[in-house]
Amino acid sequence: MFLSYLKIAWKVLLRRKFFTLTSLVGISFTLMILLVGVALYDRAAGAYAPEQYPDRLLFGSYMQLKMPGNGEMKVRPSYWLINQHLRKLGPGVQVGISAEVQAVAAYVGGRKLALALKPTDGGFWQVLQFRFLAGRPYSERQARSGEAVAVISARTARQYFGAGQPAVGQVLEANEKRYRVVGVVADVPTMRFHAYADLWTPYEPSALERQPEVPFGESELLLLAPSTAAVPDMRAALRRAVAAIPMDGDSRIAFLPSTLGESVADRLLARYNWTSKPVQLFRVLSGGAVALLLLLPALNLISMNVSRMRERASEIGIRKAFGATAGTLAGQFVVETLVLTLLGGLLGLVLAAALLRGLSNGYLAAYGHFQPSLVVFGWALAATLVFGLLSGAYPAWRMARLSAVEALKHARA
């Protein structure tokens, strides 16, 4: 029975070429765009090393500073502020500090090698799980004393020391400063901006950030909770610790910790002075885009299904006249919708995989490897099915319940 349904469905789809084409294009392109969009977002905010446990991570990049008479300001904390006041945030909580990357230059045989240098403390290596290819991170003690040691990325090691050459224990000179390499880690995509750098070193002991009583700088706080359940406690502990920081006069500071996903949204929109609430704007924009991307193909499918049913009223009438029941007719339409949706879904998956492959090898090569998420694919496909059944099979079922005479009459008018 099912096989014969399948055969008929196939024939119907071949006969109605335009309907089939529009449905396939609508479904597959929507799925493709969704999958590519989610893959890009996932690459930036998904659970990959070094941010292997995004559910347990919090980032404190900005503080809200309220000064009476001067309004509010968004400022970044200094190393000193975090190190002095925010180190102890409860049992099992790892605390790390890092600064924005700085552009530095190394020179290899008269050629400039532009490197991104990220100053960090020792805790940074505990909060984030870098994959070490050789050596190990520098310790908190080394970081505190500001030793000239560095962890470098595999690419930097290759470009500076040459492919296959040992890097650990060697000296790398950047911006006229000589660093002893203690570890080599797998490359981090630039999208992973909390972790990304080519070269990680301890803060300079002379850095302004490290001087006592300098509360604002260019650093951020990285927190790792022992478990997902402990995150609310960690937030609360941070709030208490910040409240306990002594401030001049009536000034107040508050930390605005964000999850990995929130910080990505923040980062994406922070370059544009459109809003003071980038996370909300990001949600609205991406939600709106997804809604539009789903709505338009849906409208096309509905309008086509409706007129298709009108066209097929006579077919239904004839089938009924020859003894088909409402159930068998509805079954036929369900199978048609299933075939169409699955075909479109498969096509969308193939398109998305091909596009992501192209992007990974070309335009977005610096951002790491992308692949479509099968979970998202599953959900999107399920949504399409439900929608297809509602838009296609429901009118069909109603039509199927008409008596043969009514259906034929309907066809004439």
Q: Is 244 in the site for other proteins (CB under 8 A)?
A: no
Binding mask 71-100 for other proteins (x = CB under 8 A): x-x---------------------------
Instruction: Kindly indicate which of the ranges 133-141, 188-196, 257-265, 303-311 contains the residues binding other proteins, using the contact rule CB under 8 A.
Output: 303-311
**Minimal CA–CA distance to 298: which of 397, 389, 377?**
389
- Contact (Cβ atoms closer than 8 angstroms) between residue 60 and residue 255: yes
Q: Using CA atoms, how far apart are residues 319 and 325, in angstroms rounded to an integer?
A: 9
Q: Is 165 in the site for other proteins (CB under 8 A)?
A: no
- Contact (Cβ atoms closer than 8 angstroms) between residue 255 and residue 61: no
Q: Using CA atoms, how far apart are residues 210 and 315, in angstroms rounded to an integer?
A: 81
Q: Which distant-in-sequence residues (6+ apart) come within 8 Å of 286 by Cβ? A: 37
How deeply is 113 buried, as exposed, middle or buried, from its count of CB atoms within 10 A (0-12, 13-18, 19+)? middle
Handedness of CA 254, 146, 125, 106 (dihedral sign): positive
**What is the smallest separation between the CB atom of 176 and other proteins, expressed in angstroms?**
4
Which of 57, 65 has the CB closer to other proteins? 65
Q: Is 347 in the site for other proteins (CB under 8 A)?
A: no
- Contact (Cβ atoms closer than 8 angstroms) between residue 154 and residue 185: yes
Q: Is 249 in the site for other proteins (CB under 8 A)?
A: no
**What is the smallest separation between the CB atom of 304 and other proteins, expressed in angstroms?**
6
Q: Is 176 in the site for other proteins (CB under 8 A)?
A: yes
**Minimal CA–CA distance to 130: which of 177, 194, 205, 71?**
194
Interface with other proteins: number of residues (CB under 8 A): 46
DSSP-derived 3-state class of residue 173: strand
Tallying the residues shown for the chain, one arrives at 413
Question: Got the DSSP string for 193-211?
Answer: TTT--SEEEEPPTT-GGGS
Which of 55, 311 has the CB closer to other proteins? 311
Q: Which amino acid is at 306?
A: V
Q: Is 26 in the site for other proteins (CB under 8 A)?
A: yes
Among 186, 243, 284, 289, binds other proteins (CB under 8 A): 289
Which of 307, 403 has the CB closer to other proteins? 307
Which of 202, 257 has the CB closer to other proteins? 202
Among 229, 236, 247, 295, binds other proteins (CB under 8 A): 295
Q: Is 112 in the site for other proteins (CB under 8 A)?
A: yes
Among 306, 354, 375, 405, binds other proteins (CB under 8 A): 306
Binding mask 6-25 for other proteins (x = CB under 8 A): ------------xx-xx--x
Q: Using CA atoms, how far apart are residues 152 and 204, in angstroms rounded to an integer?
A: 17
**Tokens standing for 302?**
């509905």
Q: Is 211 in the site for other proteins (CB under 8 A)?
A: yes
Which of 223, 269 has the CB closer to other proteins? 269
Among 49, 148, 230, 302, binds other proteins (CB under 8 A): 302
DSSP-derived 3-state class of residue 66: strand
**What is the smallest separation between the CB atom of 204 and other proteins, expressed in angstroms?**
6
Handedness of CA 235, 236, 241, 244 (dihedral sign): positive
Residues in touch with other proteins (CB under 8 A): 18-19, 21-22, 25-26, 29, 33, 69-71, 73, 102-105, 107, 110-112, 175-176, 204, 206-208, 210-211, 271-272, 274, 289, 292-293, 295-297, 299-300, 302-304, 306-307, 311, 413
